[in-house]
Amino acid sequence: MTEIIDGNAVASEIRTELTDAIETLADAGEQPTLATVLMSDDPASETYVSMKQDDCEEVGIEAVDVDIDPDAPAEELYDTIDELNADDGVNGILVQMPVPDHVDDREVLRRIDPEKDVDGFHPENVGRLVAGNARYKPCTPHGIQKLLDSAGVDPEGKDAVIVGRSDIVGKPMANLLIQKAEGGNATVTVCHSRTGDLAAKTREADILVAAAGVPEMIDGDMVQEGATVIDVGVNRVDADTEKGYELVGDVDYESAKAQAGAITPVPGGVGPMTRAMLLYNTVKATGRQADVDVTLP
């Protein structure tokens, strides 16, 4: 029987444990606060940001919501970041990506105070992650580490294959899995759009992380029997539903499930974990900034 890895359940456990940490902070007079900044009218980005805010409220994190007109000059976003950096009442800052083309996304990431960079995307935080001394682990790969742990899959000594080399998922996932640390010690291959024989690589994977953003590109033929398959894809494809679309992953679920030992569904796999780890980083940031020791899950 293939194990279905339940991201909603694991995320819920993490949120419960974070609630205790938030109480510890409250006892010390600290109110964790996350600012989300959205400069986009993409419906998916709007949905993600509003879900992140709802999650904050549920666990007792205050959410500050900043909306910037996507046609506004880039300076409006840069100035907003400067203000949030200077605001002692804000512990974490998340600028939802992607930003409009006329905004320099590298400048956005550089501009966020690395202590408030709960995405872990600032170059200083990327450097620390690569060096094995992460301040804030990026939310999606960190959530995947937690999912693997929950499924009893220790990456040590295993062949992990990541499909996708994004700054948000593929690269930090590779870095976490090769760390000489708990949840790491895997042998990692990163595949991408120029990889020669993709299926030959993915069939070698004991742990296969699909993060290419291409609907259902990984099918059962590409999966080794018994592999753990982690599907990061959240693709809206046209469908005859009320909303006019349905969500599918980067993995062809049914055929991959027939081969896999364990697999994450879409939705209900990686997505809830990304959101839970954002709360985790916000609580961690608050503890660091207030110099209060908090126990994190």
Please give the biggest Cα pair distance in the chain: 56
The number of residues that bind ligand GUN (CB under 6 A) is: 9
Contact pattern for ligand GUN over residues 260 through 289, marking x by CB under 6 A? --------------x---------------
Q: Rank residues 140 and 145 by Cβ distance to ligand GUN and give the closer one.
A: 140
Based on the shown chain and the rule CB under 6 A, indicate whether residue 119 belongs to the binding site for ligand GUN.
yes
Question: Which residues, 6 or more positions from 135, have their beta carbon under 8 angstroms from its beta carbon?
Answer: 114, 115, 117, 120, 124, 125, 128
Q: Rank residues 113 and 119 by Cβ distance to ligand GUN and give the closer one.
A: 119
The answer to whether residue 119 is catalytic is: yes
Of 78-86, 90-98, 127-135, 223-231: span binding ligand GUN (CB under 6 A): 90-98
Question: Which residues, 6 or more positions from 177, have their beta carbon under 8 angstroms from its beta carbon?
Answer: 155, 160, 162, 183, 184, 186, 188, 207
Residues 200-239 that bind ligand GUN (CB under 6 A): none
Residue type, 9: A
Q: Rank residues 44 and 292 by Cβ distance to ligand GUN and give the closer one.
A: 44
Please identify which of the residues 52, 116, 137, 146 carries the catalytic annotation.
52
d(CA 21, CA 13): 13
| Residue, CB closest to ligand GUN | 97
Based on the shown chain and the rule CB under 6 A, indicate whether residue 168 belongs to the binding site for ligand GUN.
yes
Residue type, 220: G
Nearest alpha carbon to residue 145 among 288, 14, 292 = 14
Of 91-99, 182-190, 206-214, 262-270: span binding ligand GUN (CB under 6 A): 91-99
Interior/surface letters 284-295, b for 16+ CB within 10 angstroms, e for the rest: bbbbebbeeebe
The answer to whether residue 224 is catalytic is: no
The answer to whether residue 52 is catalytic is: yes
Angle at 32 between CA 172 and CA 171, to 5 degrees: 5
Q: Are 89 and 47 in contact (CB under 8 A)?
A: no
Based on the shown chain and the rule CB under 6 A, indicate whether residue 247 belongs to the binding site for ligand GUN.
no
Q: Which are the catalytic amino acids?
A: 52, 96, 119
By the criterion CB under 6 A, which residues form the site for ligand GUN?
94-97, 119, 139-140, 168, 274
